Amino acid sequence: MRTVYRYDPETGKCHEIGREGKSYFHTVITDEMPATRHMADGQIYTSKRKFREATRRAGCVEVGNEKFPERQIKSNRKEITNYLKDAYERVRGK
């Protein structure tokens, strides 16, 4: 865990204000991002919002933010037990 300091220009010193790992402060997510070339229109964007607008304008879908439904696994316990017994017997040579 690291200690976080803030510089006080009046005193010219740094003062401890907290430790990372605990939520002492608000988190701000900015709209800025490193300059990125959009593959659909070839323009370079530094704004996440403008990049997403260009994605929608081009009729594309941003990958990585979609939600998938949970899969229901249907299992037959008796079939699984028999399969494992057969596999064990094959390995053991019986």
Q: Does 3 or 1 have the greater pLDDT score? A: 3
Q: Is residue 32 within 8 Å of residue 47, measured between CB atoms?
A: yes
Mean predicted confidence (pLDDT) in 54-83: 84
Q: Residue 19 and residue 67: Cα distance in Å, rounded?
A: 34
Q: What residues contact 6, with CB distance under 8 A and at least 6 apart?
A: 14, 15, 17
Over residues 11-51, the pLDDT tens digits come to: 888 888 876 655 556 667 899 999 999 999 999 999 999 99
Q: Is residue 39 within 8 Å of residue 58, measured between CB atoms?
A: no
pTM, entire model: 0.44
Residue 6: CA count within 13 A, CB half-sphere: 6
